[in-house]
């Protein structure tokens, strides 16, 4: 079976950057519903037509990955608003609560009175190199199409 819109694809992958740094290389396989925006657009496009057993090297430009780095997504916060006792240094991660749940932010700069936080995705502005092995391509279950991703049917319990 070939990877097309609405198929469930199981794969293993290694994600690295231009300098060869490996960012992710999960031991477990990963499933996604093709065409349903479960993965970055450039990777999904590069997997179109793939079949079980295919090995693909796919390079994804920032615009088709996590987007370009946006300077407008840098925010300055008074240092006294940071978690007490936290080691404040560039590159450190901070969790922030938003209306849509927790978000990881990266400390970009630390000053005397303020901290600059980067709200961009950590891979924004980076070219992504995926080495992918397609393990399986199958038709989805009805509930997978309804929920927009593979996996067990979500249960809603109301009291």
Contact 9, 47 (CB under 8 A): yes
C-alpha–C-alpha distance, residues 48 and 5, integer Å: 8
**Domain map of the chain by residue range?**
8-66+123-147, 71-118
The CATH fold assigned to 8-66+123-147 is: Chitinase A; domain 3 (3.10.50)
What is the token pair recorded at 84? Answer: 């007490």
Confidence of residue 153 (pLDDT cuts 50, 70, 90): confident
pLDDT tens digits, one per residue of 80-99: 988 888 889 999 998 888 88
Q: What is the pLDDT of residue 159?
A: 43
pLDDT tens digits, one per residue of 37-62: 999 999 999 999 999 999 999 999 99
The CATH fold assigned to 71-118 is: Thrombin, subunit H (2.40.10)
Report H helices in 36-139: 41-47
CATH topology match: 8-66+123-147 vs 71-118: no
């Amino acid at each position: 079976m070939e990877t097309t819109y609405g198929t469930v694809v199981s794969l293993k992958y290694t994600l690295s950057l231009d300098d060869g740094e490996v960012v992710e290389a999960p031991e477990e396989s990963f499933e996604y519903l093709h065409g349903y925006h479960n993965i970055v657009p450039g990777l999904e496009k590069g997997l179109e037509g793939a079949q079980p057993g295919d090995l693909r090297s796919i390079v994804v430009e920032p615009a088709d990955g996590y987007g370009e780095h946006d300077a407008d997504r840098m925010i300055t916060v008074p240092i006294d608003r940071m978690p007490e006792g936290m080691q404040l240094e560039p590159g450190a991660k901070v969790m922030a609560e938003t209306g849509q749940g927790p978000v990881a932010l990266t400390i970009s700069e630390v000053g005397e009175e303020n901290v600059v936080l980067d709200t961009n995705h950590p891979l924004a502005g980076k070219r992504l190199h995926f080495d992918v092995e397609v393990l399986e391509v199958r038709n989805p279950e009805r509930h997978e199409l309804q929920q927009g991703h593979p996996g067990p049917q979500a249960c809603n319990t109301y009291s």
